């Protein structure tokens, strides 16, 4: 009887600490954002991030090579034909920034933009 109680207590402790670890992990984990690039646009066309919150941005291309650059935030990520790239950054400025494709990809290259809002 006593042994069963001990096992139950141990089990509850293990489950409880596991749940706590998951919560801590979720709070510290970077925000995951996926952006798809294709001639001649990004999807989504607009994203909103929090100042000071780390971001893990995944850029995927469904056709040719592309890039995504936010000059003011020192972010520039390039992705190969049909590939996936990742960039980690923490926006340290608030405002609205326009990201541009940073790899020439054809006639509509100049119109490939993504609007990024960084809020407090």
Binding site for Cu ion (CB under 5 A): 101, 105, 109
Sign of the four-CA dihedral 102, 71, 31, 86? positive
Given the complex with Cu ion, which of 114 and 118 has the nearer CB atom?
114
Given the complex with Cu ion, which of 109 and 115 has the nearer CB atom?
109
Give least dist CB 50 to Cu ion, A: 28
- CA 53 to chain CA mean position, Å: 10
Give least dist CB 102 to Cu ion, A: 7
From edge to edge, which strands make up the β-sheet containing 75-79? 46-50, 113-119, 95-100, 66-70, 75-79
Give least dist CB 105 to Cu ion, A: 3
Distance CA(87)–CA(56), nearest Å, equals 6
Given the complex with Cu ion, which of 53 and 63 has the nearer CB atom?
63
Tokens, residue 21: 């670890």
């Amino acid at each position: 009887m006593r042994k069963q109680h001990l096992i139950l207590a141990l089990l509850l402790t293990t489950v409880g600490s596991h749940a706590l670890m998951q919560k801590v992990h979720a709070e510290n984990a970077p925000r995951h954002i996926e952006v798809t690039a294709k001639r001649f646009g990004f999807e989504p066309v607009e994203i909103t991030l929090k100042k000071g919150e780390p971001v893990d941005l995944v850029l995927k291309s469904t056709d040719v090579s592309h890039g995504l650059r936010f000059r003011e935030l020192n972010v520039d990520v390039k992705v190969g034909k049909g590939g996936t790239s990742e960039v980690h950054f923490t926006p340290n400025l608030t405002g609205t920034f326009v990201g541009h494709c940073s790899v020439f990809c054809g006639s509509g290259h100049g119109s490939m933009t993504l609007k990024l809002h960084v809020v407090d």
